[in-house]
């Protein structure tokens, strides 16, 4: 039996010898590669925090001591050490989540997987422990150097130093990367610390303090270092945050268990906030990950564990891929176009733009608020910025979209990747809020392409707007087959399907156009005539939509965003304002946090597949709004259409 098999909870680590602990780390790495290669997931980050995770659970007593992981994608080892060793359904329906999740274990505290929040959580928890007399409890925050580029982390650091009488330990997992290499002044500062000659020889910053006491101090330092000791020192010009009153240990080897345990025990005993600076390697112990210059296997699909190569590349081109190619063509023709990304150059598809025009793409780190306001400034200066970001991360910069971009009528284009239901990453990564959120932004123009050709068209149209913010949203995955319009109205609305009788007007948002066409086929079998339209631009509401709604018995909107305040509700308001009394049914995502599962599984549960939508419409219109509609028990759906609509 491997050492890992004998670990069911953190205290099982206490009796292990140094040799056994090292063997355990090897077991964990083997298990991660074997299991994640079958399911996909965040492999590289977890390979890099094996020793840190083991050391934390050796020194601290979870869940009595609170452990907070920033972003949380590097919590796989933590899960293994707290009794969750079945990774066979990692990030899948009914399997364990890819991030901490309270419903799984009392050892998990922070579920949100948006970066740079851990220090604020740790600050709050430690203040609560102090205020309630729980002075024996500690708080440990694990934050990567990439997450330290986020402004929220710096706000927290400022407040952590305001009260030094708390049991708070901040572990900086310094691997020089987030998704990609960490950028900016912080990265340069950490690199300077890492490359100091005294660190390369294995010494800690404590040498600086000992050296002040002459030959005796140097002898004491050598003795301490030989014994594997680190010493807490006052912040100095060579510390990580020299201008903050924070005690500092490091840098230490983040893959040396003895050094880690020594440092963490000293930090634990100090009785005040301490930073432990651990230098690690993303993908440690797995050659394919370490040698991957792009992102060191930050997140992988199913791979061959021996080679690290994908088992299947899939077919078709992704939405991100089409955007990546098209933005380069647009930038070639328009020198005013620049790109902005938040530490996600490759995931959002700006890498090709950066390669061809390196001076025109700006990676600002994990700093969405700064990215948006900086874009407003660039627009004022005569550029047209394209802010490429995951839909879920735009939530973090709503104030900047509203007050810095929209209020100033700045010509900024937001490209929202991973919009709608995304799947395995769970609640905090589904991009279901942007439709509702952007509805309230004055002057916002919002587009949702249904296929690759429309993505190219709408991106070009969006960048052509210089006196208002624009947004183009699209989902995760491969682009579906193109649906050509029968006709386009004068104001740019595409009609995709039209029956002789105008019973139901189906208004689809983005890639839901394919669902709408399938619904129309199912309704036709019930004698219900349907017009399917794709607005292309869903903000502002096109007048032709209002006119068509007036001509139909029922309007049904289909959107892959939250129904509350979404496109359907906006269209309903517009119809009311124009005196149109046609009934409207909004079909979309309920206002709830969605689980991790495949996109189709979530859609089925929510009743957002063609068959469920069609059944609901038939139930509404039979005998009332559409007298000639056939009840379901009289004429069932055609079987071939049913199969294609699943």
Known binding-site residue numbers: 73, 113-115, 145-147, 175, 286, 368
**Distance, CA of 412 to CA of 214 (rounded, Å):** 59
From the list 265, 294, 261, 99, the residue with the least C-alpha distance to 180 is 294
CB 477 within 8 A of CB 319: yes
From the list 224, 227, 229, the residue with the least C-alpha distance to 264 is 229
Q: Which residue among the candidates 51, 259, 261, 368 is catalytic per the annotation? A: 368
From the list 484, 517, 523, the residue with the least C-alpha distance to 619 is 523
CA distances to 42, 262, 308, 314 from 300, in Å: 6, 34, 9, 14
CA distances to 332, 405, 417, 464, 467 from 376, in Å: 22, 5, 20, 16, 11
Query: 333-344: string of b/e by CB count within 10 Å (b at 16+)?
Result: eeeebbbbbbbb
Tracing tokens 């893959």 back to the chain, one arrives at 255
Task: Give the pair of three-digit tokens for residue 307.
Answer: 């080679």
- DSSP for 390-443, please give it: EHHHHGGGHHIIIIIIITTT---EEEEES-B---TT-GGG-B-SHHHHHHTSTT
CA distances to 40, 346, 366, 384, 385 from 361, in Å: 30, 12, 15, 12, 9
Q: Is 282 one of the catalytic residues? A: yes
Q: Which strands, in side-by-side order, build the sheet including 413-417?
A: 361-363, 337-341, 384-390, 413-417, 470-473, 445-447, 537-539
Q: Which residues are annotated as a binding site for thiamine diphosphate?
A: 73, 113-115, 146-147, 175, 286, 368
CA distances to 91, 522, 537, 626 from 530, in Å: 38, 10, 21, 11
Task: Please tell me whether the peptide bond between 36 and the residue prior to it is cis, using omega within 30 degrees of 0.
Answer: no
CB 558 within 8 A of CB 510: no
CA distances to 22, 123, 395, 423, 444 from 431, in Å: 41, 28, 9, 10, 18
Task: Give the pair of three-digit tokens for residue 269.
Answer: 């005993």
CB 211 within 8 A of CB 376: no
Name the percent of the chain in helix, strand, coil, to the closest 5: 40, 15, 45
Phi/psi for 473 (5° steps) reads: -115, 140
Query: Where are any strands of DSSP class E within 478-544?
Result: 487-488, 494-498, 504-508, 530-534, 537-539
Task: Give the pair of three-digit tokens for residue 142.
Answer: 């694990």
3-state DSSP call for residue 361?
strand
Q: Which residues are annotated as a binding site for Mg(2+)?
A: 145, 175
Which contiguous run of DSSP H or E holds residue 232? none
Task: Give the pair of three-digit tokens for residue 401.
Answer: 């979209």
Q: Which residue among the candidates 282, 450, 476, 599 is catalytic per the annotation? A: 282
Q: Which residue among the candidates 284, 396, 542, 572 is catalytic per the annotation? A: 396
3-state DSSP call for residue 539?
strand
**Distance, CA of 378 to CA of 246 (rounded, Å):** 36
CB 584 within 8 A of CB 556: yes
For 28, left (φ over 0), alpha (ψ -120 to 50), or beta? alpha
Active site residues: 282, 368, 396
């Amino acid at each position: 039996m491997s050492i890992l098999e004998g670990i069911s909870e953190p205290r099982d680590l206490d009796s292990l010898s140094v040799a056994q602990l090292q063997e355990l780390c090897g077991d964990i790495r083997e298990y991660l590669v074997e299991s994640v290669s079958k399911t996909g997931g965040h492999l590289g980050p977890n390979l890099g925090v094996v020793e840190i995770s083991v050391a934390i659970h050796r020194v601290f007593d979870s869940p009595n001591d609170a452990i907070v992981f920033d972003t949380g994608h590097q919590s796989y080892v933590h899960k293994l050490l707290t009794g969750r060793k079945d990774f066979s359904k990692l990030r899948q329906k009914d399997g364990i989540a890819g991030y901490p999740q309270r419903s799984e274990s009392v050892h998990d505290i922070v579920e949100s997987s948006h970066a740079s929040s851990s220090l604020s959580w740790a600050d709050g928890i430690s203040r609560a422990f102090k205020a309630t007399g729980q002075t024996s409890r500690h708080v440990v925050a694990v934050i990567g150097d990439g997450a330290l580029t986020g402004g929220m982390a710096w706000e927290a650091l400022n407040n952590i130093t305001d009260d030094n009488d708390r049991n708070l330990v901040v572990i900086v997992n310094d691997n020089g990367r987030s998704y990609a290499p960490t950028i900016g002044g912080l990265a340069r500062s950490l690199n300077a610390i890492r490359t100091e000659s005294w660190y390369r020889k294995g010494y800690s910053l404590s040498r600086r303090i000992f050296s002040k006491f002459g030959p005796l101090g140097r002898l004491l330092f050598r003795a301490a270092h030989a014994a594997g000791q680190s010493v807490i020192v006052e912040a100095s010009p060579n510390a990580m945050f020299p201008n903050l009153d924070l005690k500092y240990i490091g840098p230490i080897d983040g893959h040396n268990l003895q050094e880690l345990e020594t440092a963490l025990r000293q930090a634990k005993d100090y009785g005040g906030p301490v930073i432990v600076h651990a230098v690690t390697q993303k993908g440690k112990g797995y050659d394919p990950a370490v040698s991957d210059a792009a992102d060191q296997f930050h997140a992988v699909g199913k791979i061959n564990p021996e080679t690290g190569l994908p088992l299947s590349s899939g077919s078709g081109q992704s939405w991100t891929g089409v955007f990546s190619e098209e933005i380069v063509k647009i930038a070639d023709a328009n020198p005013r176009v620049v790109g902005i990304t938040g530490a996600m150059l490759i995931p959002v598809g700006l890498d090709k733009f950066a390669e061809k025009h390196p001076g025109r793409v700006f990676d600002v780190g994990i700093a969405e608020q700064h990215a948006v306001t900086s874009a407003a400034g660039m627009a004022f200066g005569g550029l047209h910025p394209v802010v490429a970001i995951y839909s879920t991360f735009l939530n973090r910069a709503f104030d900047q979209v509203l007050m810095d971009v929209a209020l100033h009528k700045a010509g900024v284009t937001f490209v929202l990747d991973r919009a709608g239901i995304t799947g395995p990453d769970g609640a905090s990564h589904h991009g279901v809020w942007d439709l509702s959120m952007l509805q309230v932004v004055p002057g916002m123009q919002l587009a949702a392409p249904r296929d690759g050709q429309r993505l190219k068209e709408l991106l070009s149209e969006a960048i052509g707007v210089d006196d208002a913010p624009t947004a183009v949203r699209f989902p995760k995955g491969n682009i579906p087959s193109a649906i050509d319009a029968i006709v386009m109205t004068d104001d740019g609305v595409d009609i995709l399907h039209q029956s002789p009788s105008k019973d139901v007007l189906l208004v689809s948002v983005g890639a839901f156009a394919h669902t709408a066409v399938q619904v129309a086929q199912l309704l036709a079998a019930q004698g219900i005539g349907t017009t399917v339209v794709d607005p292309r631009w869903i903000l502002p509401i096109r007048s032709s939509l209002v006119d068509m709604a007036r001509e139909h018995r029922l309007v049904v909107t289909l959107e892959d965003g939250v129904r509350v305040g979404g496109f359907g509700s906006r269209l309903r308001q517009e119809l009311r304002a124009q005196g149109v009394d046609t009934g409207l049914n909004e079909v979309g995502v309920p206002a709830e946090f969605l689980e991790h599962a495949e996109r189709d599984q979530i859609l089925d549960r929510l009743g957002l597949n063609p068959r469920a939508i069609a059944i609901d419409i038939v139930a509404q219109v039979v005998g009332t709004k559409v007298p000639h509609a056939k009840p379901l028990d009289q004429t069932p759906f055609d079987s071939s259409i049913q199969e294609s609509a699943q």
